Structure 1
Amino acid sequence: MLALALLPLHLLPLLTTVLPAAFTGGGTRRWFGGRGENVRAEAQAAKDAAAAAFYELDSAQRDLRISIETIAAVDSSPAARKAAGDFEAFGRRIDEVSHQYITAVDAHDLDRDDLEASAAARARTELTQAKDALGTTKRDLDRFTQDLAPLLDKAETQLARLAPAVERARQTLLAATTALDAVRAAGLKADDLAGRLAALAPELTKLNQGAGQHGVPDTLHRADRVVRDAEAVRAEAERLPERARDIDRRLVSLRTRAQALTTRSEQVQPILSELRRRFTAACWQDLQRVPEQAAQSVRQAETKLTEAQRARDDQRWPDATALLSTVRALLNSTDEAVSAAGDRLHRLNAVAKDPQAEIERTRFAVRDAQRLAMAGRQKPDPRHARPLDDSVARLDRAVAALDGRHPDYWHFLTETEAVRTTVARVVAQIREERGQGA
């Protein structure tokens, strides 16, 4: 105040206009303090909260987009397509609430010195509304994400299978190629296997191009198919040396058997001569052509053996195997026919010497079945009694036919065998029915 007293009088009016400005710091900012500063702080807090909500929603959307892309890459089901559509709808909703937030931020500069309390309050309200809209959308998005969990788990499982499946297909192809090379090095041709392996080359190319070009499901299916086909080629290639040795053994064995059957078939004619001499025509007529048929079958077998040897030399393994099967069938039928003649003579000799043994054997079977039919019953079930009674009558007729001067022993044997077959069928029926009733 002493300084003011010393100033010239003509400067005092000017000083009175400058001093107010000096005391306010030289600016025009209006401090509204107290309640006004609280409103500004609340507006800033609302802005920060809205920014955090915006960031959380943006992060959740980006994470969910990765999940949707994962599902879409693997799954083309209606549920997956619906999920993708729902995500697009969420995207539009997120754009709307994000626009609301950005508009509220751009509309209010909370750092302005001359910010009015009313403007700060309005900013707080709009930013709070934007934060609430962002938060609601985030919660809905979280629920949608939870609902996608089964689809996402399935997709991630398939994706986790992808790399191992492709690698397994490559390794199986390599193993098949190695096995095929080893077979060829041993001097064995495997043209059919080589052709099947070559057919897998385009599939390997597609596997190498990746799931991005062909899709995850198709790539997985292709990998599984390559593994299956290549494994079959590898297994067959590894079995090929043993297959060749087996064919060689069968050629030798069947050739020896054909020679033995040739010798045996030559013995049929003496057997037929004895049958003609000692028994009626009905006992041997069906065997008349056995020697001729046996010789013809053996010749056919030897021809097929020659063809099988040629197929083996040419390494046509399927053809060789098929021909050897034909040879075996021819020799089996020939063996049965040749054996039938000797068996016929043996059985006829036995029954001619002692028919009573065959009769008692058959009667025992009938009586045993009758006892079973009566077990636990006052009288037998007609379904069981009738065929058993018929069998008794049939046996009696067969025995009576032996009283002639030249009995047909073969007819007698076929009749007794037929009776035992019928009786066995009745016994099986009784046991089955009682087993079901137990």
Structure 2
Amino acid sequence: MTATPPQPNSPSVPGAPGHPARQASFPVRSARGARLAVRDTLALVALPLVAALVLPAAFAGGGTRRWFGGRAESQRAEAQAAKDAAAAAFYELDTAQRDLRISIETIAAVDASPAARRAITDFEALGRRIDEVSHQYIQAVDAHDLDRDDLEASAAAHARTELTKAKDELDNAKRELDRFTDGLGPLLGKAETQLARLAPAVERARQGLLSASNALDAVRGSGLQADDLAARLAALAPELTKLNQGAGQHGVPQTLERAERVAREAEAVRVEAERLPEKAAEIDHRLVSLRTRAQALTTRAGQVEPVLSELRRRFTVACWQDLQGVPDQAGENVRQAELKLKEAQAARDEQRWPDATALLSTVRALLNSTDESVSAAGDRLRQLNAVQKDPQQEIDRTRFAIRDAQRLAMAGRNTPDPRHARPLDDSVARLERAIGTLEGRHPDYWHFLTETEAVRQTVARVVAQIREERGGAH
């Protein structure tokens, strides 16, 4: 019985352009699982080919062939062995190519880098080389019928030569394929890592959306509105649709990025929803606290005018002139704060939480400013009373700061650094001039206090500079 070798373009040939196994496309889930699936499928498809190539030699005879002894049968056996070896090489190459195709599909689905695109192009070129040697092998099989009864020794020897050559070419192509596969390691590892992250990331996004929805329902059930949070959650619905459509439609990197972003945004909505009752209570507390503070400042602002009267009576104009506008400004600030408090209360009642928070921040800033200006009048009077009673305490305090800085500047030196000595010498002179302003019938105590404070600030800067330079030197 004569077996006809498969034709090069026959769909029954594994690796031929129309063969189902060559055209098969396997969904990429995990690279390892995909390879196993392909290998199992390939074994079922390709084994009949090996059987077609090998079985005729094994079962020919049995009354169907006339056996001739001698050289012809020896050559026939060698040719058949070469044919079997070539068939095995073809199957091994085809199997390796299919495994590699799964790897390339994995990389293509995940990686759009230049290296990945180059690998895909190189694989296509290698595929053309494999198709070429596969075609040569099939031609060699087609050209020689080793089951012919009248097969001559020379024809068998020629068949063996061509089949051996075809096997060598298949082996060379297999080695090229192996080298190419080895070089794909980094790209494949990166792709498989992303694939391994994909399913958990999508699941986290889905669970995050579910948790956010549940938290929002719980808040609304307690009587609080959360329209802004509901709008943010609704905006994620199209993203969930794309996640459900899968990476096959939208790409693995894009789907992975989308899943991580959806998970982050859903988590933010959940956290804000769960904190909303606490936020409402906090706003209520701030409303009460700031309202009480505004009332207290109204009382304190009314006490500024008597303080100013005493300042005017006992000290020069320069000591109190900058405080003249404090009572009017304090009253205006308190009125503005009370107005904003009413607006904040309305926003809270309507559960416009961002508006309520912003208005309360404005109220706090107004009251802080008022508190500082009202306190400034009382502080000024206390300072002036103290320096009028005993200016020497302020003088000694400032001189001590200068002397301490001078000792530091001279530490470990025979002469001070001019960068340090000059501002310290100027500070000594400035202090003496400030002391001179205390002489006369109407001393300007406030000028004296501002001057001594300025001297101490200058000295402090010099000390900080010396310590920074010496610290850097070590």
Task: Calculate the TM-score normalised by the size of structure 1.
Answer: 0.92
1:13 is matched with none
Pairwise CA RMSD: 1.4
1:8 is matched with none
1:31 is matched with 68
Shift of 1:143: 0.6
2:28 is matched with none
Shift of 1:133: 0.4
Q: Determine which structure has more spread, i.e. the larger CA radius of gyration.
A: 1
Task: Check whether the contact 1:30–1:114 (CA below 8 A) recurs between aligned residues.
Answer: no
Task: Check whether the contact 1:74–1:216 (CA below 8 A) recurs between aligned residues.
Answer: yes
**Deviates further, 108-117 or 362-371:** 108-117
Match of 2:157 among 114, 121, 126: 121
Match of 2:210 among 153, 174, 189: 174
2:143 is matched with 107
Shift of 1:296: 0.8
Q: Which amino acid is the alignment partner of residue 145 of structure 1? A: T
1:40 is matched with 76
Name the CA distance, whole Å, in 1 between partners of 2:85 and 2:115: 36
Shift of 1:262: 0.8
Q: Which amino acid is the alignment partner of residue 69 of structure 2? A: F
Task: Check whether the contact 1:57–1:134 (CA below 8 A) recurs between aligned residues.
Answer: yes
Name the CA distance, whole Å, in 1 between partners of 2:118 and 2:252: 19
2:412 is matched with 376
1:196 is matched with 232
1:88 aligns to 2:132 (yes or no)? no
2:54 is matched with none
Match of 2:313 among 274, 277, 288: 277
Name the CA distance, whole Å, in 1 between partners of 2:125 and 2:413: 81
Cα deviation digits, residues 34-72 of structure 1 (max 9, x gap): x33322221111111001000001111111111111111
2:114 is matched with 78
Name the CA distance, whole Å, in 2 between partners of 1:411 and 1:29: 133
Task: Check whether the contact 2:384–2:446 (CA below 8 A) recurs between aligned residues.
Answer: yes
Q: Which amino acid is the alignment partner of residue 333 of structure 2? A: S
Shift of 1:109: 1.8
Task: Check whether the contact 2:72–2:151 (CA below 8 A) recurs between aligned residues.
Answer: no
Shift of 1:165: 1.2
Name the CA distance, whole Å, in 1 between partners of 2:94 and 2:439: 110
Name the CA distance, whole Å, in 1 between partners of 2:64 and 2:466: 121
Shift of 1:27: 11
Name the CA distance, whole Å, in 1 between partners of 2:64 and 2:372: 128
Cα deviation digits, residues 154-199 of structure 1 (max 9, x gap): 1111111111111111110001100111111111111111111111
Shift of 1:99: 1.3
Cα pair distance change 1:118/1:394, threshold 3 Å: same
Residues 331-346 of structure 1 aligned to structure 2 (within 5 Å): 331-346=367-382
Name the CA distance, whole Å, in 2 between partners of 1:232 and 1:429: 46
Shift of 1:83: 1.4
Identical residues among aligned pairs (%): 82
Name the CA distance, whole Å, in 2 between partners of 1:206 and 1:313: 39
Q: Which amino acid is the alignment partner of residue 369 of structure 1? A: A
Residues 4-403 of structure 1 aligned to structure 2 (within 5 Å): 29=66, 31-33=68-70, 35-403=71-439
Q: Which amino acid is the alignment partner of residue 31 of structure 1? A: F
Cα deviation digits, residues 295-315 of structure 1 (max 9, x gap): 111111000000000011111
Shift of 1:331: 0.5
Cα deviation digits, residues 229-255 of structure 1 (max 9, x gap): 111111111111111111001000000
Shift of 1:94: 1.2
Shift of 1:112: 2.1
Give 5+ residue unaligned stretches, structure 1: 1-25
Cα pair distance change 1:30/1:346, threshold 3 Å: closer
1:420 is matched with 456
**Deviates further, 150-159 or 353-362:** 150-159
Name the CA distance, whole Å, in 1 between partners of 2:114 and 2:457: 63
Shift of 1:97: 0.9
2:6 is matched with none
Name the CA distance, whole Å, in 2 between partners of 1:213 and 1:89: 27
Which has the larger helix fraction? 1
Name the CA distance, whole Å, in 1 between partners of 2:123 and 2:91: 18
Give 5+ residue unaligned stretches, structure 2: 1-62
Name the CA distance, whole Å, in 2 between partners of 1:401 and 1:62: 99
Query: Secondary structure in 1 aligned to 2:112?
Result: coil
Q: Which amino acid is the alignment partner of residue 259 of structure 1? A: Q
Query: Secondary structure in 1 aligned to 2:182?
Result: helix
Task: Calculate the TM-score normalised by the size of structure 2.
Answer: 0.85
Q: Which amino acid is the alignment partner of residue 32 of structure 1? A: G
Shift of 1:222: 1.1
Shift of 1:29: 4.6
Name the CA distance, whole Å, in 2 between partners of 1:230 and 1:362: 60
Query: Secondary structure in 1 aligned to 2:414?
Result: coil
Shift of 1:30: 6.7
Shift of 1:28: 10
Name the CA distance, whole Å, in 1 between partners of 2:467 and 2:182: 62
Name the CA distance, whole Å, in 2 between partners of 1:273 and 1:324: 34
Name the CA distance, whole Å, in 2 between partners of 1:280 and 1:314: 54
Name the CA distance, whole Å, in 1 between partners of 2:208 and 2:236: 11
Name the CA distance, whole Å, in 1 between partners of 2:64 and 2:444: 145
Name the CA distance, whole Å, in 2 between partners of 1:156 and 1:81: 17
Query: Secondary structure in 1 aligned to 2:138?
Result: helix
**Deviates further, 315-324 or 160-169:** 160-169
Name the CA distance, whole Å, in 1 between partners of 2:461 and 2:280: 47
